[in-house]
Structure 1
Amino acid sequence: MKLSYRVNEYVSCEQFIALLNASGLGERRPVDDKQCIEGMLNNSNLIIAAWHDEQLVGIARSVTDFHYACYLSDLAVHKNYQHLGLGKTLQNLTQQKLGPNCKIILLAAPDANSYYQKLGFTSHPRCWVLERNKRIKE
């Protein structure tokens, strides 16, 4: 199987949604909100995509300053391509694009929590999330 990896090349909204659904990540992403998905893609400043021919089979989508912090917003691998090292490769390629002192930060899906520990990530107890439908209290 010949895979190619592309950095910051165009990924369509439809390809991204199909991958999110095929990876299992679609249940935690706004796949029914095309405007939001388009914004997610258009405002990411580092996207590493894995392709099998012209099918998107993996993605690492990040927002970063390239020097201090990189928020890895989505790491998705199509279920038919999982356990082949694609996720690890996508993360390694992401890290290669960052400065030498830039840390990768992410929120793990519940089923993936132990995966990141095996790769060398450390858990951080002080993560806070304000959901889309909530407002900051006065």
Structure 2
Amino acid sequence: MMTIRFATDQHFQAADLQALFLSVGWSSGQYPQSLQVAMQNSHSVVSAWHGQRLVGLMNALSDGAMTAYFHYLLVHPDYQHQGIGRKLVAQMLERYQACARKVLIAYDAEIGFYQHCGFVVGTGKTPLFVTTLTT
């Protein structure tokens, strides 16, 4: 059985981030140094490791009191459907349980996953973007 270790250190090697982000086809993986800075500047990050391999992570941008916005949640395809994503979400929801508002933007194909984790689809709300990234 595979042992997955979870960590809260926010210092990552750029190559590890690049490999993880590109494994799921996210264009942000083309900017590994920027991802490195983004993780360091996040309010918190929980990562999943199989040995020395980064296999998943979730980060939060937060004011630490009222709102937590979960920006990235990704699990390497070789490790999906093993409960890693759910554990990352559970750890973040526990950390930000005192925040009145916990927000994320999900791709349509992933809505069911997030609903199983306790999120609900907002009504009367539309996410708005100004971005150059596609994923």
TM-score by length of 2: 0.84
How many percent identity over aligned positions?
23
CA shift, 1:111, in A, is 1.9
Q: Is the contact between residue 13 and residue 41 of structure 1 (CA under 8 Å) also seen in structure 2?
A: no
- Match for residue 88 of structure 2? 90
SS of structure 2 residue aligned to 1:30: helix
1:66-119 CA deviation, whole Å, 9 max, x = no partner? 321111110001111111111110011112222424432111123212211222
Pick closer, same or farther for the CA change 1:102–1:55 going to 2, 3 Å.
Answer: farther
Q: Which runs of 5+ in 2 are unaligned?
A: none
RMSD: 1.8
Structure-2 residue corresponding to 1:136:
none
Pair 1:4–1:102, CA change in 2 (3 A): farther
Where 1:31 maps in the other structure, the secondary structure is helix
Indicate conservation of the 8 Å contact 1:62/1:71, yes or no: yes
Match of 1:127 in 2: 126
The 3 A distance-change label for structure 1 pair 119 and 34 is closer
Q: Aligned partner of 2:22: which letter?
A: N
- Detail structure 1 runs of 4+ shifted over 3 Å in the superposition: none
Other-structure match for 1:103: 101
TM-score (norm: length of structure 1): 0.82
Distance 1:49 1:14, change over 3 A: same
**Quick one: which amino acid aligns to residue 126 of structure 2?**
C
Unaligned runs of 5+ in 1: 134-138
What per-residue deviation string (whole Å, max 9, x for no partner) do you get for residues 24-51 of structure 1? 2x33x42223443233222112000011
Query: Deviation at 1:130?
Result: 2.6
Aligned residues, how many?
130
Structure 2 residue identity aligned to 1:38: Q
